[in-house]
Amino acid sequence: MDIIVDIICQVYAGQKSVKTIDLVLNTFLSGYDKLNLDYAHPGHDKNYIFKTEDEMIRYFIETPSITQTFYWNKYYGNPEKIMVGANITDDGKLIMSLTLNGDKETEKRYFDQLKSILQSDIGVVTYVEPVDYEDGEDFIVRYGINKNYNTLL
């Protein structure tokens, strides 16, 4: 069994939503390590430190025309080294990602499961680096249902 390091499964999740982020986190990374409260700052005040992780996430969900990406880890009890990512795009969309280590079977299982819980057929798998896209609509155009989104090398 050949282990692949840094498999990145990215899937379109629809409109930005705390509920969706929580669903992915609780499905794939229960007991995850909370974000540092200085992970991100509101655009209007670079010195402001959020009081809670929930306040931070809600700020970026509720503020229009803003882009922010968050990554959560779990350092213990996580043999596949899963990291959950949430990319909030400036057009109000959400792209969720899983970064993990495993073989081709593991890759397929997690990619299919992420698509299933997000009820989305729009996604792509890459290695080491996530794919580039301008915003949520661009992600849909590049990796949508009618595209060949087989694993990229």
Cα–Cα distance measured from residue 92 to residue 142, given in angstroms and rounded to the nearest whole number:
17
Give CA separation, 31 vs 60, 112, 129, in Å. 22, 22, 25
Looking at residue 13, what is its pLDDT? Answer: 98
- pLDDT, position 147: 52
pTM of the shown model: 0.92
Q: What is the mean pLDDT of residues 1-17?
A: 93
**Straight-line distance from the first to the last Cα atom of the chain, in angstroms, rounded to the nearest whole number:** 19
Q: Which one, of 46, 6, 22, lies nearest residue 127 by Cα?
A: 6
Any idea which architecture 4-36+66-143 has in CATH? 2-Layer Sandwich (3.30)
56-112: pLDDT as tens digits: 999 999 999 999 999 999 989 999 999 999 999 999 999 999 999 999 999 999 999
Q: Is 113 helix (H, G, I), strand (E, B) or coil?
A: helix
Mean pLDDT, the chain, rounded, equals: 92
Q: Which residue has the tokens 């990291």?
A: 83
pLDDT at 146 over 60: no
